[in-house]
Amino acid sequence: MSTNGIDLNKSNENLVTVVLGAQWGDEGKGKIVDLIASDADIVCRCQGGNNAGHTVVVGTREFDFHILPSGMVNENCISVIGNGVVIHLAQLFDEVRKNEEKGLKNWKNRLIISDRAHLVFDFHQAVDGFQERDKGQKSLGTTKKGIGPTYSTKANRIGVRMADLMSDFSLFEEKYRALATSFQNQFTDLNLNVEEELARFRNYVEEIRPCVKDTVSFMYNCRKSGKKILVEGANAAMLDIDWYLSICNFIELYNWWCLYWFRFTTKSNRQCLRCFKSLYNKSW
């Protein structure tokens, strides 16, 4: 039996596994991802930035991942940073260096970064702090990693992508300067060292180039060939800009969640699901 070209009798073995947090973060997603990633061919980060904090323990070694997918510890696995992720390259390289010191090897051969992913600049992080300051007691308590301001420039269609960095550097520089000027006009106390950051990006270009690809076609081909794919969520659902901080959205999220296939691998996770259902069934 098939519907719209989908074979409903086909085995579910090759379905994509998605791990998402259903509350405000710190649900233990990293532990679940670590368990499933050992059997995955592809592990993908789909959103967020380097605000995530997943710790993976291998023997006596402890790896800390903030923007790198947790699959990086599996040498037989390809890790993908998708187009929904925003990337601060300096902090990405710093994370790689720290994990290399702990035993991470051959990361360039196993990491793919989407050419559509947007770049986080230093001024995004500074503006993140200004916006938190201006909100006073109503501040959100962000990590000040510049993620919100970067998504804002992405939505305004004035952001800068990895693809821009990989192409003509003069065009990248033009876009960078225009974006920096826009932020300086909005925040008069913003101090930027434009030339210094541009010099850093000139050095990043060739180092990161081997990792940058069109991940849309790559993931399509992986799915078509039956690869086992794990999608690693970073931000929790209640911090998502569509679902956040509303019990009505919480109930709607449950209905949405039921449309997807999730694998609960431990007793505690099944208990979490029962708790989630009890919240849903409660009268508000």
* Closest C-alpha to 93, from 78, 75, 113, 76: 113
Dist. CA 98–CA 102, nearest whole Å: 7
In sequence order, the 6+-apart residues with CB closer than 8 A to the CB of 127 are: 146, 149, 183, 186, 187, 190
Q: Which one is catalytic: 54, 88, 118, 124?
A: 54
User: Bridge-partner residues for 17, per DSSP?
Assistant: 230
Dist. CA 65–CA 197, nearest whole Å: 24
Using the structure block, give the residue that is written with the tokens 């006596």: 60
Residue 128 catalytic?
A: no
| H-run or E-run covering 270 | helix 267-281
Dist. CA 78–CA 243, nearest whole Å: 30
Residue 88 catalytic?
A: no
Catalytic residues: 26, 54
